[in-house]
Chains A and B, each alone.
Chain A
Amino acid sequence: MNNQSFLILDKHFQAIIQMPDTFQAEAIANFGHKYPELLKTLQGMLKVHQSEKDSLESAVDSASQMFEEEPPERIGSWRVLNLLGRGGMGDVYLAQRDDGEYERQVAIKLMRLGQKDFRNRFVEERQVLASLQHPNIATLLDGGQWQSDDETVQPYLVMEYVQGEDILSFANKHDLDHHQRLGLFLDLCAAVQFAHQRLIVHRDIKPANVLIDDSGQVKLLDFGIAKWIDEDQGHANTGSMTSIMTPQFASPEQLNGGLLTTATDVYALGVLLYHLLSGQGPHELKGKSIGEIAHLLQKEQPMPLSQLSKKTDPVLDPILSACCQADSANRYQSVSLLAEDIKRFINHEPILMKPPGFWPSVRLFYKRHTAVVVLASLFTSVVSFLLGYHLYRLDIEKSRVLAQVERSDRVSQFMVNLFDRANPMVAQGQAIDPKALLDQGLQKIDSELFDEPQLQTQLFQTIGRAYLKLGKYPDAKTAIEKALSQLDGTEDEDVERLVSLHLLMADINFNLGEREESKKHSTLAKNTAIQRFGANHRMVATALTNLGVLACNNSQFDVCLSYYQQSLEIRTALHGPDHNRVGTAHNYVAMAYDHQGLFEKAIGHYRESLRILRLSLGELHPKVIDGQANLAGGLTQAGHTDEAKVLLDAAIKAARQVHASDSPELAGILLMKAFLHNQLEEYKQALPFSKEVLAIERKARGNSHPYVAYDLNLVGRGQLGVGHLDEAEKSFNEAVQILHAASNKPDYILMTAKQGLGRVYNAKGLFEEAQKILNETWETRKKLDGTDSWVTVWTRYDLGVAAKGLGDIKTAKTHWQAVLTHAAKAFPVGDTRTVKTQEALNNLEFDDTKK
């Protein structure tokens, strides 16, 4: 064959394949006549063309697979015996100690991914992982890097060898009943809880990682490995979808690149339990892409277990459902709580878990106690203050702003002008669109200041900050990128600007969920600042705080604490112990202790923080108010409720002065107070606050928002408590209306409202109505919460009151007995609810004997 003949071949081949089949035969024959020596080749080509298989592709594939099948003989100080299996992350080999010291067999996982500092990371964490000595955890023994001959290096992990099968197969093979399965599950929970207490999150709990060995012992594998894999792949917190091998067990936050905490493990445990008890998961995921799954998990509630499998007891439904809530704040907050509820179920005791959303106060407390930590924003710029949530009160803000503006500062001038009333976009007293103004500002910078690059950079930076404060992160990113691209020069001020831009970018990245980018920028900022200005520089401190926040979000609380402490030291060294930045730093350290449950230590720092902030900012600064609330929170956690109360009062007083009287922020603080008083049955104190909250939220959210219904319930409860029965009735009725309009499905708020009405009727002596509505409530609660849940049982107290009112002593007795039995078991001696019920029963006896 030569070039020419190939050309001919090509030409004819192309022509023939275009023809319809019927003509081809003739064309081929013609070709054969003209070029007989090429005919065979042509025929071969046509055959290949028609076949479905691409032999080239398979040849290349097979060749690349050659690189897979080289088992090592030795890894580290172990001799490889044989291949145990292949996983997504690597091959697992059975190995034995090579130096003949002992016979112990281990499993070595040779990772597929090559990376640089695996060893360093492992050494850091080795102690922690080695401390995971637990009968139900496959111990991690060693790790290192294995060098194959051709210079490639693969990390490996040496683990306790577990011979057994995964929990699902085991359970099915041995035909275990529900109790036995739950028993295994509880062992698994113990293992996970053990690790959580040592601040290690597993992140990849799935049946394949839960083995039952030959002695029937549960063994959990691969602790914390997922984290390394993800860090290796450049995703510090399993943000990316590529590292998810089994989407079935991935939590919403894993799929969405969110924060991973112990609640993530709770989710996985829940899914596993679903499978263990019913053979199916909480959602139908077949054939869906990861993006679709992520969406589904957010939107769809998990299927109740009893619907998936008829054999399961519906009492379990809320337990499982609570594990698999999309919002991690609505799940069991610890594995031990989950395990306890399961134990209660097994012992036929009432479980404590309520369906999601039951604890309304939780939304406030969670604000303070979730693992999400907001990045340090120590901006003092004019604009950030201006564009805070006070924004719509332009009059007040502007005068404050003007007081701070240095008239000679062109940047500030520019920004202030932007918001000036002379600007046609700003209308007096109306809500303004800050983003539109900023967009306008950006344009101006581009067009009017193109000959002043330094000024441009500064302005981009300022606007970037402003966008950041507004929460417009993509815009912020663009602005900062612009600023970064302009940067030139090596003067101190330039480097300083560079560092602050990187810190800004870190903030933006963080808010966009780009954790690894955020870390990069923070680290770069830190290193540049240290290099240029030495270790004791305020920017180093800020960078350290940022890194601490990231560590906190990775559940690395000890690392986080360390960063925060370092930052605190630097700030103290720079500014002295009374500076307000030191105060903020104390607050961070306090939060870190908070997360670790070291409340007394946290309180110490909260106090210090508050003291300093008060000194430098005065009583009315939002930061001081936050500080008071934080301290109150810490005190409450530690059980010092009296002091907490005092603080809360002070916080409210200050909040009133600082926040607009119709701001939801204020409502949030007041709500805490109202709820607390209601709980303590101090209705007179609670009422004014409840009413105020109601007023604010009506305005802010509209009259038909479910939160308003919730607030109405609070108010109603207070009114009932002080004896304003008609008003109470009105409140509860309105709540019921709102909720009925909002949804067909009854929920806990509706039940509370209805129960409230029942109580009102009781108080009014309308026992028949009371009984009717209370029975309805009771029945619905049985369905929503289960017959044995406390809130259902407690409904019977009021039913007893109604029954007694109707003269039906027997029924009243039955109801109250039931309540008493439950309360006596569930609550400690002397609990108000037990006492109350006992009293009611005693009075019955008394009446009886009177007759």
Chain B
Amino acid sequence: MAEKNSSEVKSVVTNGKELSKDDLIKAAYPDLKRMARRQLRGESGQAFQTTELVNEAVMRWLKGYQSAHSPLTWMAVMAKVMRNVLVDEARSRHAQKRGDNPQKITININAEIADEPSSAFEILDLEAALVQLHSLDARKAEVIECHYFGGMTVKEMATHFTVGEATVKRDLITARAWIGSQIKP
């Protein structure tokens, strides 16, 4: 990680160069995705540490740029990225298994690896439910995303969504229950 030379930062700001949030995210997305995959590889079966990712992202992408975007925004972004990464991977494996894409079927030397435990695909059901929830109550869907994929706390989410903590808690309870009811019919 390059050391941030303070004089560099100053000069950029005085040039009036500030990227909009969307620009930043757009530019950062491929990198973030790569970081997410690497992060997933790095942990041994435990829940991933999104905070570290956020820190890395902030350091990497805000180096030299003065940014008004809070770490919470970045966490929310990372949550989205994480979700995408996990869902993408699950989808491609699912396709492999089902034989949807014949070219993808490979014969593994270690045959036992070919079978993915079925629990890995639960996320696809979760995804479907989450998409639906988003159309019904966008904030609740985002709360779920931020919490489960981004590891954000109730307090952090309250700040991010500018609502009270009690509201966030209620969102979580309802959303969790609803998604749960959709996943297991």
Residues of A within 8 A of B (CB): 1-3, 6-7, 9-10, 13-14, 17, 41, 44-49, 51, 54-71, 73, 80, 82-83, 86, 88, 112-114, 148, 150-152, 154, 487-488, 490, 520, 524
Type the 1/0 row for B150-184, where 1 means its CB is closer than 8 Å to any CB of A. 00000000000000000000100110111111111
Contact with A along B98-118 (1 / 0, CB 8 A): 000000000001100100110
Which single residue of chain A is at the shortest CB-CB distance from B38?
A: A152
Shortest beta-carbon distance, A554 to chain B, in Å? 21
- Partner of A112 from B41, B89, B116, B184 at Cβ < 8 Å: B41
Interface residues of B in 100-159 (CB under 8 A from A): 109-110, 113, 116-117, 119-120, 122-123, 125-126, 132, 135-137, 144, 148-149
Please give, as numbers and ranges, the residues of chain B lying within 8 Å of A49 by CB-CB distance: 173, 176-177, 180
From the candidates B43, B117, B120, B136, name the one contacting A3 in the complex (CB within 8 A).
B136
Q: Do most interface residues of chain A lie in helix, strand or loop, or is the interface mixed?
A: helix
- A825 CA to B90 CA in the complex, in Å? 73
- A61 contact set on B, CB distance < 8 A: 47
B42–A113 CB distance below 8 A? yes
Interface flag for B14 (CB, 8 Å): no
How many interface residues does chain B have, given as a range? 35 or more
Flag if A67 contacts B7 (CB, 8 Å).
no
The answer to whether residues A6 and B136 also contact, given A47-B181, A58-B119, A114-B41 and a CB cut-off of 8 A, is: yes
Q: Is the CB of B122 within 8 A of A487?
A: no
Given contacts A44-B180, A49-B177, A66-B89, are A86 and B44 in contact (CB under 8 A)?
yes
Taking CB atoms, residues of chain A closer than 8 Å to B170 are 14
Docked complex Cα distance between A54 and B180 (Å): 8
Candidates B40, B89, B110, B178; contact of A45 at CB < 8 Å: B178
> Which of B43, B113, B173, B177 has the most CB atoms of chain A within a 10 A radius of its CB?
B177
The reply to whether B40 and A67 contact each other, CB–CB distance below 8 Å, is yes
A609 to B129, CA, bound (A): 76
- In the complex with contacts A41-B181, A63-B86, A57-B3 CB distance below 8 A: no
- Within the complex, what minimum Cβ distance (angstroms) separates B79 from chain A? 11
> In the complex, what distance in Å separates the CA atom of A483 from the CA atom of B102?
65
Kindly state the separation between the CA atoms of A392 and B148 in the bound complex, as whole angstroms.
60
Q: Which chain B residue shows the least CB distance to A42?
A: B181
Q: Is the CB of B43 within 8 A of A62?
A: no
Question: Of all chain A residues, which has the CB nearest B6?
Answer: A487
Separation of A64 and B87 alpha carbons in the complex (Å): 10
A64 touches B90 (CB 8 A): no
Chain B residues with a Cβ under 8 A of chain A: 3, 6-7, 34, 37-38, 40-45, 47-48, 86-87, 89-90, 93, 109-110, 113, 116-117, 119-120, 122-123, 125-126, 132, 135-137, 144, 148-149, 170, 173-174, 176-185
Set of chain A residues within 8 Å of B126, measured between Cβ atoms: 56, 59-60
Point out the residues of chain B lying under 8 angstroms from A113, CB to CB: 42
A694 to B173, CA, bound (A): 73
The residues of B that contact A148 with a CB separation of less than 8 Å are 41
Q: What is the minimal beta-carbon distance from A70 to any residue of chain B, in angstroms? A: 7
Extra A-B contacts (10), CB below 8 Å, given A55-B183, A57-B148, A64-B47: A44-B182, A49-B176, A49-B177, A56-B126, A62-B119, A62-B120, A66-B116, A67-B40, A80-B109, A150-B34
Cβ-defined contact, B122 with A62, below 8 A: yes
Max count, chain A CB within 10 A of own CB: residue among B120, B182, B183: B120
Known A-B contacts A17-B173, A60-B123; the reply to A67 vs B110 at CB < 8 A is: no
The answer to whether B123 and A63 have CB atoms under 8 Å apart is yes
**Subset of 11 A-B contacts with CB under 8 Å:** A6-B136, A6-B178, A10-B137, A46-B177, A47-B180, A56-B179, A59-B122, A63-B122, A64-B86, A114-B41, A152-B38
Q: Which residue of A lies closest to B117 (CB)?
A: A62
How many angstroms between the C-alpha atoms of A61 and B46 in the bound complex?
Answer: 7
Q: Which of A14, A67, A80 has the most CB of B within 10 A?
A: A67
Chain B, residue nearest A234 (CB) = B1
